[in-house]
Amino acid sequence: MAQEASMFSAADVAVTYSQSTGHDLPVEELRLPADLAWGVATAAYQIEGGAAQDGKGKSVWDTYSHLEPSRTNGQHADVACDHYNRMPEDVELIASLGAEVYRFSISWARVIPLGGRDDPVNEAGLAFYSDLIDRLVARGIEPVVTLYHWDTPQALYDRYGGPLDTAEFRADFASYARLCFDRFGGPNRVRRWVTFNEPYITSIFAHLNGTLAPGHCREANTDTKTEPWRVGHSLLLAHADAVLLYARDFQPANGGDVSIVLNGHFYEPFNAADPADVAAAERRMVFYIGWFADPVFLGSDYPAEMRAYLGARLPQFTAEDRDILRRAAPLNGFYGMNHYSTKYARQLKTPAADDDWTSNIEELSVDSEGREIGPSSAMGWLRVAPEGFRKLLCWVWRRYRVPIIITENGCPCVGEDDVATAVDDTFRRRYLGVYLDAISRAIHEDEVVVKGYYVWSLMDNYEWSAGYGPRYGIVHVDFKTLKRTPKNSAFYLRDTFKRRRGVSS
């Protein structure tokens, strides 16, 4: 399959671009397949707290969020939602909302405080996740585990730069993955694994523009022209190693599958009448998604468009690397898709900076005629554009032919600090409604295979460099008392999946 898929051309996966993003569509409550699992998602650093509790080591986020001057809105996640100490309560909360899946991440530094293959493990950290998994299974909730959600152990970054050193990082990640597969896997425990969450973000935002931990480009002697691509290269090969490891040593007894989660906007041309902008929209998709998805799911080299533009900046795969990617490609069980919004792409007429990573393409929320892509959420970049979501589902399915799981989708609303206002989250309910309709259309009209939908997020949490400002949760968290209060969107999701799938109450 990988060899046949690798022969696809851009024409085979072309999407009809339009300026209609569907943001004004009504919620139609369109039907969904009975086997489309729905769930909630979180990430360890964003909710756990317990920053130094029971032997946990530091991650790059523990360090980054305490830098002076602050790069995280003066806030950190030492306590966050205190999930580490309130986990049994949170499992009951998930069950009360009717969620069938809980996607969460393991803090690498909680289970191996120093991170390395020769470093001691932390049994207290392992016991926490084992207890969480057992409680989920007992309540009939499927655990879906992400091994890496941006939180490299600080000790590994100090030793060799984390993913900047491909060989060392691959060896340490493989050891960490083996530990998790061994301790948490099983036919009746964890059967669905994610290696890396959004490697694009780790590569670009953490190592090129420095807005996320470890903020590498702000340090001395960094090379933003080459290092982000080296990071991506390391993550790709570490992923393939883990897929082959699981298939060889764990899948025969445990079943289940392993894959990766990739984020991506959909792109419409800034000016649909300008061939340069039409081409830019497609090329931006390739640079954003194809960068990782082509090697992972096609077992191929980086996209030709990237090779042509980046030249020597893009690392080469050795013959051994190519063999590993080729063998791992058909073993990826699903395409994990994190998606929130759509943007316009404009081809710039003047050369961009030397470390340009977009092939000289500008991203905007307004097109050449002044039309917005859709209404804005509490984050200006995140706008309601469900037809863009549908087109992205089509683009990914036609290019890779792998079943898709929506591993993150959601939005923050304005004015959610006050619990009374937050509970009546009409904007979020409508966003979720039209995006679920888009999934229905993609499945039933476009014949896209979609197997799951996990909302981001279970609860309001620490939103990385934005601190506690944006609230994506379907459950409100009072960050002073840590009280959890479900919002109306939580009950909407519970009820709409029953209705749309024809599930009796």
Q: What is the per-residue pLDDT across 13-53, written as a single tens digit (0 to 9) for each?
A: 344 444 578 888 999 999 999 999 999 999 999 999 999 99
56 within a domain of the structure (yes/no): yes
pLDDT per position as a tens digit, 181-237 = 999 999 999 999 999 999 999 999 999 999 999 999 888 889 999 999 999 999 999
Note whether 336 and 262 are within 8 A (CB): yes
- Give the DSSP letter string of 465-487: GGTTSS---SEEE-TTT--EEE-
pLDDT per position as a tens digit, 64-80 = 999 999 999 999 999 99
pLDDT per position as a tens digit, 359-407 = 999 999 999 999 999 999 999 999 999 999 999 999 999 999 999 999 9
* Rounded Cα–Cα distance for residues 334 and 232 (Å): 20
Q: What are phi and psi of 450, to 5 degrees?
A: -125, 130
116 within a domain of the structure (yes/no): yes
Closest CA relative to residue 326, chosen from 264, 243, 401, 447: 243
440 within a domain of the structure (yes/no): yes
Question: For the chain, how many structural domains are there in total?
Answer: 1
Catalytic residues: 198, 408
Residue 503: the pLDDT is: 59
- Give the DSSP letter string of 438-469: HHHHHHHTT---EEEEEEE-SS----GGGTTS
Structure tokens at 211: 């807005």
Residue 4: the pLDDT is: 30
pTM of the model: 0.95
Cα 278 versus chain centre, distance: 26
Check which CATH number belongs to the domain holding 449 and give it. Answer: 3.20.20.80
What is the 8-class DSSP label of residue 153? Answer: B
Closest CA relative to residue 372, chosen from 138, 21, 69, 9: 21
Length, in residues, of the chain = 505
Averaged confidence pLDDT in the chain: 94
Q: What is the CA radius of gyration of the chain?
A: 21
Mean pLDDT, residues 328-354 taken together = 93
As a whole-number percent, the residues of the chain with pLDDT over 90 amount to: 92
As a whole-number percent, the residues of the chain with pLDDT over 70 amount to: 95
Q: State yes or no: pLDDT of 8 exceeds 80.
A: no
Note whether 265 and 340 are within 8 A (CB): yes
Domain around 258: 2-500
**118 — pLDDT class (breaks 50, 70, 90):** very high
339 within a domain of the structure (yes/no): yes
180 within a domain of the structure (yes/no): yes
Residue 188: the pLDDT is: 96
- Give the DSSP letter string of 343-389: EEEEE-SS---TT-SSSSEEEESB-TTS-BSS-B-SSTT-B--HHHH
* Rounded Cα–Cα distance for residues 151 and 229 (Å): 19
Residue 19: the pLDDT is: 56
22 or 254, which is more confident = 254
Residue 420: the pLDDT is: 92
Q: What are the strands, taking DSSP E only, across 352-444? A: 361-364, 404-408
505 within a domain of the structure (yes/no): no
* Rounded Cα–Cα distance for residues 237 and 254 (Å): 23
